[in-house]
Structure 1
Amino acid sequence: MKKFFAFSILILAFPLILFSQERARVHNIRYFSSSDYTRVVIDIDRPVTFQEKKLIEPDRVRIYFDIDNAKVFNLPPSIPVSKGYIKEIRVGQFTLKTVRVVLEFAEVVKYRTFTLYSPFRIVVDIYGERKAIPKTPPVSKPEELTIARQLGLGVKKIVIDPGHGGDDPGAIGPGGVLEKNITLDIAIKLKELLEKNADLKVVLTRDKDVFVPLEVRTAIANSERADLFVSIHANSTRNKNISGFEVYTLNFTKDPHAIEIAASENAVSSKTIGELESLIKKILLNTKKEESINLAKFIENNLIKHTKVRSLGVKEAPFYVLIGAEMPSILVEVGFLSNLNDRTRLCSDVFRTNIALGLSEGILNYINSFGKPSM
């Protein structure tokens, strides 16, 4: 009887054992490529550990990722890449519990790997030998110029990123006011204003109500070889008394408010935001941090001028959408949908036009600060 009872318990527990050992699904691999830059995104249905290795052979170079406790789910064994340094992406069940993803190249490349959450994905930024991962210039003293300014570099192309879209409405204010609609309208107005300048080309990450993943937005900026990246958002917080706008650059932060805002925009928990610290520190080694701050200050001053709304300051936070951008990049929160006054203003076409004017003038003033007038 005892043996029968023990056997029955084992039978009942078997589905739980199977569930606990269920492997993660590697269910999608995407890439975004230009002549000298490629971003590969490996989508997995849960967080996993993985190992990576670079193999150099006489006729080819391979980078492979061994993903632990995982299985291939509805993926072809080979994904050809039409342009860029990468030739082919291969995926297969290397062992019973290991999925191997192989990136193949014709020549030696430089690359950088990081992970994003909710959903989990492995992101690989790949640069050809002619475009090494940019080095951060030494911290400048107040009287010194950044390397960009020393070299007299200018701005010719700008990528504007209207936050959210499609199935992702972003913040939702009372009465059904949607962040995704406000950001798109401002972005379109901003593009029109900037394109009045004949020397500037402006690219939108979306020009209609569609969903664009966060990692794709930066990839668009990189593949377009943009000189600036500006992401537009609207805020929301539990404290309905907070109002005003904020301008963010990429960095880790201990500020609870900035963490809350970043968690909301990243669609992750505050705990997950805390796990980004090591990633952000690593990414900052390769970003235009000083010029991002300079751009943010020009934007802040001109938003105050054109909207007459108070600024909550230029701040730092770990926004996914800014990670991996190879140009000065900022995120602007144009107001709080959770605040009655801000929400009322943001519903006004005139006010949204004033925001676009402030952003446009801030960008143009920043460009002119290089000593190369935009007009």
Structure 2
Amino acid sequence: MRLFRILLLFSLLCLSCAGPVVAAGAEQAYRKATESHQRLMGSAKKQQHRDQWLAVLDRFTAVVEMAPGSSTAADALFMAAQTCEGLYRVSWVKNDARRAVELYLNLARQHGESSLADDALARAAEIEETVFKEKGEAYRHYAQIVEGYPRGDQAAAARIRLKALSDHAPPSPPAASPVAAVRGGGELTGLRIWSNAGYTRIVLDLSRAAEFTANVLPANPATGSEPRLYVDIAGSAAPQLLSEVTTVEDGLLRRIRTGVPGENRVRVVFDLVSFGDYKVFPLEDPYRIVVDITGSGAPEIRSADAELRSLPPAPQDGIGRILDQAPAERPLKIHIPEGQKNGKLRRIVVDAGHGGKDPGAVGVSGVLEKDVTLAMAKVLARRLEQAFGCEVLLSRNGDVYLPLEERTGFANKVGADLFISIHANASTNHNAYGVETYYLNFSKNEQAMAVAARENGTTLKQVGDLELILFDLMANSKINESSRLAAEIQKSLVEKLGRHYKNIKDLGVRQGPFHVLLGATMPSVLVEAAFLSNSREEGRLTDNKFHERTADAIISGVRNFANALEMMAAR
């Protein structure tokens, strides 16, 4: 009994000391986070790099996790929100501003007694009003200040804003059916899904462009709720044809729910089994929102799971068509490899650019890029299988149209080790010629941006907008590996084709924001083999011998890249 009392006393003593120790650690971490924020704000160069902002943000959020109920956590939340707000002023990515609002509101909810609570509500209201044009939300936050902190330093300014926004006060009684209230908004027309072990891509098809925001609700062990991701689409209506609940159960995503939580807004909720990270970005023409979710889910992929579920029905879906195109004598396997542990290539996806209603570039004598790329891709796929003894899959083996995001989505789904997209170049200058290889990255080169605009089927302005989206995608993309693969392929193309043809011009390895490379989880490149707009090179692009020599050159580059991987794996 005496020993028990001693142990109990010792335990109570440890508990009494734990609080001060944790608080001291949080305060020290907060000081270091503040110093890193000051260094960031003092360097215009650092402010141009997203990873610098995110590193500071991580420091502040780590403080919150260390001592969530402390006054230091409130300070850290406010600084984290300010960091996101500062990032938005550089990136102009609205998800950054949305995250700032969420952090400010978390501070107000969790630390209502803090002197920063009314300041946080004021900042949230200003962002809602000026960035998102959500004046009703801004009114609500200003009202919270006046009602909850009438003597705070933000109250006077909040009263002024309430008068200015009086037309946006919440209606009473509530307005009628939210769906009926949508005027001129786009419609959520389809939901397309495909899964891989630890990776799921969902595409939300809309009838027109719309503002959207995304947010994550973490799991709550107290209530037993699992993590959720939701996307709110402004000015949109959900069609009757779209099911309110879509069951997925792929080991990562349990189900998808659609609803209308407010006027002129549709919410798509993703109930998650596990959660690691997510990316949400829009693509144009047609307008759609792509949601990439990663986690630790590792389902057993069966053939029945290979179909893409969506509106319109599955037979019209791009990934469904890809899977249907697999030869009967060699059915497509949906086994997901663990990865290149020994540096060996197991599976490669070759993408024939364009197709179907998208002809791509048109040559001087009428040759279509979609026909040239399909012929070259088939030769390359056959030669790759012979050279490496690995499985090679075509994104398309017929004249079918595939949205660009479905191509890397397919490569991710089947666990490809490499993704190679074959294209033919074009220029308004019919004397332009040569070969160049691209990988996904930012670009300061006007010519590269023009090529990206043509291959994306967008304008130069939209390509510039995509550069901002790339801020959110760079961290998980295989940039270094892709650049090495592009360098090896480009070098080999110039050397080997130069032995057989005159005027093989080395246009170099370039980088650019290509839709077809977005979201790839493996090294991925885009090869512009020659110019259809040049009569000499158009003739080569229609010649099977050129196809074979180009394929052999690409294989040589892939081999050099794979050998380097194998050597690194052996170290």
User: Same fold, TM exceeding 0.5?
Assistant: yes
Task: Indicate yes or no: 2:230 matched with 1:64.
Answer: yes
Distance (whole Å) between structure 1 residues aligned to residue 507 and residue 273 of structure 2: 49
Partners of 1:371 and 1:333 in 2: CA distance: 27
* Contact 2:275-2:293 within 8 A present in 1 as well: no
Q: How does 1:1-375 map to 2 (within 5 A)?
A: 21-55=183-217, 56-57=219-220, 58-73=224-239, 74-81=241-248, 83-129=250-296, 153-197=343-387, 199-308=389-498, 309-371=504-566
State which structure, 1 or 2, has the greater radius of gyration over its C-alpha atoms.
2
**If each structure's helix is expressed as a fraction of its own residues, which one has the higher value?**
2
Q: CA deviation at 1:22?
A: 0.5
The residue type equivalent to 1:330 in the other structure is V
CA contact (8 A) 2:273 2:297 kept: no
Give the direction of change, closer, same or farther, for the CA distance of 1:237–1:290 in structure 2 (3 Å limit). Answer: same
Cα distance in 1 for residues equivalent to 2:364 and 2:518 = 31
Q: How far does the alpha carbon of each residue in 1:313-341 deviate from its partner, in whole angstroms, 9 at most, with x for none?
A: 10111101111111111110111111111
Higher strand proportion (structure 1 or 2): 1
- State how far apart, in whole Å, the 1-side matches of 2:279 and 2:390 are: 30
Shift of 1:82: 5.4
Shift of the 302–64 alpha-carbon distance from structure 1 to 2, 3 Å rule, reads same
TM-score computed with the length of structure 2 as normaliser: 0.56
Where do 5+ consecutive residues of structure 2 fail to align? 1-181, 299-338, 499-503
Q: Partners in 1 of 2:215 and 2:472 — Cα distance?
A: 19
- Distance in structure 2 (CA, Å) of the matches to 1:46 and 1:164: 22
User: How many angstroms does 1:303 deviate by?
Assistant: 1.0
2:475 and 2:273 map into 1 onto residues whose CA distance is: 27
Higher relative contact order (CA 8 A, sep 6+): 1
Residue by residue over 1:209-239, the C-alpha shift from the partner in whole angstroms, topping out at 9 and shown as x without a partner, is: 1111100111111111211111111111111
Structure 1 residue 64: deviation in Å? 1.2
Unaligned runs of 5+ in 1: 1-19, 132-147
Q: Distance in 1 between matches of 2:268 and 2:392?
A: 35
Root-mean-square deviation (CA, aligned residues, Å) is 2.2
> Which residue of 2 is the match for residue 137 of structure 1?
none
- What displacement does 1:253 show? 1.3
Contact 2:435 2:494 (8 Å CA) reproduced: no
- In structure 1, how many angstroms separate the alpha carbons of the residues matched to 2:471 and 2:212? 20
Distance in 1 between residues matched to 2:390 and 2:562, nearest whole Å: 10
Q: CA deviation at 1:75?
A: 1.8
Task: Report Cα offsets for 1:277-330 as digits up to 9, x if no partner.
Answer: 221233222222121111111111211233222221101111011111111111
Aligned length in residues: 337
Q: Deviations over 1:87-141 (max 9, x none)?
A: 211222333311111111233443221221222211111112368xxxxxxxxxx
Letter in structure 1 aligned against 2:253: I
Contact 2:196 2:413 in 1 (8 A): yes
Partner Cα separation in structure 2 for residue 273 and residue 61 of structure 1:
33
CA contact (8 A) 2:251 2:273 kept: no
Counterparts of 1:64 and 1:210, CA distance in 2 = 32
CA displacement 1:17-46 (0-9 Å, x = unmatched): xxx940111111101112321100111122
The share of aligned pairs that are identical, in percent, is: 39
Q: Secondary structure at the match of 1:60?
A: coil
User: Contact 2:252/2:275 (CA < 8 Å) preserved in 1?
Assistant: no
